[in-house]
Amino acid sequence: MARWIYGVGGFLVILSFYFFLFYSVRAFNITPDRPSASFTAPDYRFVLVTEEIDNDYWRLVEKGAREAATKYNVSLEYTGPKQANLEEHIKTIEMAAASKPDGIMAQGLNQDVSATIINHVTEKGIPFLTVDTDAPDSKRVAYVGTDNYYAGFLAGQALLKDTIDEVKVGIITGRFDSANQKLRVEGFKDAIKYSDRVDVVAIDASQITRIQAAEKTYEMIKAHPEINAFYGTSALDAIGIVQVLESIGMTDQVYVIGFDVLPETMQLLKDGKLEATVEQKPYEMGYNAVELMIQIIEGEDVSTYHHTKTEVLRKKDLKQLERTTPGGIKLP
Ligand code: BGC
């Protein structure tokens, strides 16, 4: 009996020694002639600083930038505040600059504050591209994105075209301190300026969140029951506006025009709860920005303005839009 136990014990010792050897070799990868996986160091390192890291719109800018980065062997870092905040945005750009990348891409969110940090970065020899929101008074090399004044103007024209009689407009804008949001409001107001039947009666900011867009809409309707149209100037504003109108059963009585073509926005358009939206091209912004940054670093002459396409979409346009955009937005 004892010999039998010793036999089994010995066998187990040998077996465990075998496994020990086997897994040690695997763990430490001790295979002298094993060919190493091919790794090419990236040619450049860029940082893309967003307004808010988990915002669906910014994820599309990131997607475009990543695809271009993969194509051109660039390492891309995508970073930004958890929640939109100017101070944190600036700090993130400062931190990005301290890591000495080959280029930085970000919004020129606030004309004064952004110009200072952008100039600081470019004086360090790091090229800076503004994306989505320009800072024309800074030393940024170029701008890639929507012509925001024009986009706002288009929204105003669309509202004029789509409505008759008196229109009292409530505006929900992303942030009062963002240059692109200001331009979208300015363009809109200029477009309706000569009409004596359309007026803006109230404006408030959503801090680019749908929750605050809904809250501000609700407060606005209470304070101005005469409002019969809403204009949302950042990607999630129209979604928040419609949410409130639906909850009080007023989607049919109120005209709504928003911004962007996020899947939820397109669904609202398809369902007839949103009359129109101003399309932007966030994927292209990211993609083109990476390409442009490479050209700049490689000494090519580039022009200052690279405006991406913007146009107004209505429900009737959806039929012609049976396509998938390169940004992966499946249009209904
Ligand atoms: C704007 C961005 C903004 C985003 C917020 C977009 O319409 O172009 O600047 O960060 O909305 O959701």
Nearest ligand 1 atom to the CA of 55 is 12
Predicted local distance difference test score (pLDDT) of residue 28: 45
Position 33 confidence tier, pLDDT thresholds 50, 70, 90: very low
Least confident stretch, 107-116, 230-239, 316-325: 316-325
DSSP string for residues in 198-262? EEEEEEEE-TT-HHHHHHHHHHHHHH-TT--EEEE-STTHHHHHHHHHHHTT-TTTSEEEEE---
Expressed in angstroms and rounded, the spacing between residue 164 Cα and the centre of ligand 1 is 29
Axis crossing angle, helix 179-192 with helix 148-162, rounded to the nearest 10: 40
Cα gap 293→64, rounded to integer Å = 14
Residues 6+ apart with CB under 8 A from 148: 133, 134, 179, 180, 183, 184, 187
Nearest ligand 1 atom to the CA of 236 is 12
Write out pLDDT tens, residues 264-302: 999 999 999 999 999 999 999 999 999 999 999 999 999
Predicted local distance difference test score (pLDDT) of residue 18: 58
Residue 147: how many other CB atoms lie within 10 Å: 18
Tell me, using a 6 A CB cutoff, whether residue 110 lines ligand 1.
no
Under DSSP, is residue 324 helix (H, G, I), strand (E, B) or coil? strand
CA 218 → CA 5, 32, 86, 221, 248, distances in Å?
A: 81, 69, 26, 5, 10
Under DSSP, is residue 129 helix (H, G, I), strand (E, B) or coil? strand
Predicted local distance difference test score (pLDDT) of residue 39: 76
Q: Give nearest CA residue, ligand 1 atom 9.
A: 132
Position 15 confidence tier, pLDDT thresholds 50, 70, 90: low
Tell me, using a 6 A CB cutoff, whether residue 132 lines ligand 1.
yes
DSSP string for residues in 63-86? HHHHHHHHHTTEEEEEE--SS--H
Predicted local distance difference test score (pLDDT) of residue 19: 57
Cα gap 14→20, rounded to integer Å = 10
Pocket probe for ligand 1: among 173, 176, 180, the residue whose CB has the most ligand atoms within 8 Å is: 180
Predicted local distance difference test score (pLDDT) of residue 332: 40
Expressed in angstroms and rounded, the spacing between residue 279 Cα and the centre of ligand 1 is 12
Expressed in angstroms and rounded, the spacing between residue 116 Cα and the centre of ligand 1 is 22
Expressed in angstroms and rounded, the spacing between residue 178 Cα and the centre of ligand 1 is 10
Write out pLDDT tens, residues 40-51: 899 999 999 999
